[in-house]
Structure 1
Amino acid sequence: MDSSDHGKHPKQGVESWVQLAKPTLSDSLEVTRYKGGDSEIESFLDSKLCISLVLKAPLRGENRQQGRSWQRTASVGGGIVYLPRDHSAQYWWTGASEAINVMVDADWLRARSSAEARLLPDRPIYGLRDPILAQLVQYLFKENVEGSPHGAAYSEYLALAAISRLGPLMSRRSLENKAVRGEFLVARALDYIHANLDSNLSVREIIDACEFEGDLFAFTRLFKRYCGTAPHRYILDARLERAKKLLLLADRRMTVTQVALMCGFVNLSHFSSAFKSKWGIQPSRILGV
């Protein structure tokens, strides 16, 4: 979000919300259910982590973590939001919203199940969908409003079950998102390559253009996985393909040198040898010169 856009919405805090849950008996676990309208808040979880079931998603919302820019919050009705321990961020949204929040003491979780604690990521996750996890959160709220008839231990068991479900789900989602992100990055790289075939392209320039965060070797592996060839080979083949089309369409007023320059070749000898190697004919023969 552009900084000029921020502030064009009503500024309200938690005092405008309605709390529908009861105080929780367990020190390790807290359940809340809030509903409210347009809001702008600062959130800090301290020693707790939070699993939220979004019952009604706002019309629009954004969040900003410390030192970062504003970004859209992918909150959907029926979705799960996970916020890690010590999460600190600013949020704003417009429209009515409602959510059940399960906050678990991170130290208690580590003492009870260190393996589960290690599976949880250290960054927020928005828009996770899983009916079983959503049902567990609903069960926790039901226990809360009924005054914990089965005791605090049962609520803690439900919370552990939710966290056990959450870890593998987020690991799977991370792999799925990684694959989608890979396709997106390679598509951006291909768009940039074909738009700049007449320039002296470098792999580093392409990496910067598609905002790939890894090193040159990691990008090359990613590119080869989707395109079947390394970036430099793909660029050469794309230039030769364009050169062939230009030569076939050209009249005698266009020279081989002009075609070579239009396709990013700065050395005519290299262009001619690469062209013949790929197409089995000298470029000059296509022009008939």
Structure 2
Amino acid sequence: MSFFRTEVSFRGAETRVVESRLFSNPNKMVMAHRPEVYARVSRFDLGGLTVGEVISSGHNVDVSEYMSNSLIVPLSGVIECESKAGLNKATTGEALFFSPNRRHTRVSAGKAATFKGIPLIISTDLMRAAFDRLGLSLPSAIEFDSLSLRMNGSRSAATAELIQTVRTLHAEIDRGSVRIGNPASRAVWVEFIADKIVDALQETGVLHAPVYHSDSSSYRSVRMALEYMRVSHGEIKDIPSVAKVCGVSTRSLELAFKNVLETTPSKALLVIRLEAARKRLCDPNDEASVTEVALDCGFNHLSRFSAAYREKFHELPSQTLGVWRKV
């Protein structure tokens, strides 16, 4: 039995617009006009790492992923992603890697019967831990809207190994492997994938290459606010206090988030808090209760926390706790 949870699934004869919650921000998928359009988007969370599955006759989507890095491995068809850093295209045997950013994505079947791809969303914390394990320091390139990379398995042994590892993990999740059902095994997989990504980035030499940086005040304010939110999400009282730390007015910070991420500082903080809570609930060595985790992460209303958590992760906090701390 597959561990993947389907969040979008439809088939029809007309162009459709549907919402996907695969990434941090809900994103609108616009299906291409064909005699029959279809799509299925599924996901599985391993704690800091989300493995997705996308099967589509072709669609466009504007992605806002401001929390984590993204790795996309196409199994069939073609994917094109355009961001501030430029346009990247990938097909079978290749992969696309992005630091947190906004991008426009188009997928098509190409010469295949359908597009099928495996998107991985991996937190910056996991990337930082991987660099530490390998005795490296996290480069400044791994920050908002700075890195957009096409990786070719035929030109890089490390990339080929990464793609094969992703495909293997996808297959394990899809068939409901007992190894994926075990929390300790999941943690090993998460570390292994993160290490493979860093290894591939190192081999391509991209970490030493010039990357895109925006010097606009809006981008600086957003980066500073997100960094502060990640470090102090449990103590932040309100958005004006975040704006004060960033040295801008509340209105200016709200406009910056709208222009850069098409969201609000409040929604960004909520996602950061939810991700932080899930990370702790998935830690078998953390003995805190759901209530203690919620309060530590900045949630003062437990019912609202449970509702927001369930909307994002499709399960209650207590269910996450029960799975990951089961002996």
User: What range describes the TM-score normalised by the shorter chain of this pair?
Assistant: 0.3 to 0.5
Which structure: greater helix fraction? 1
Tell which structure's C-alpha radius of gyration is larger.
1
Which structure: greater strand fraction? 2
TM-score, normalised by the number of residues in structure 1: 0.46
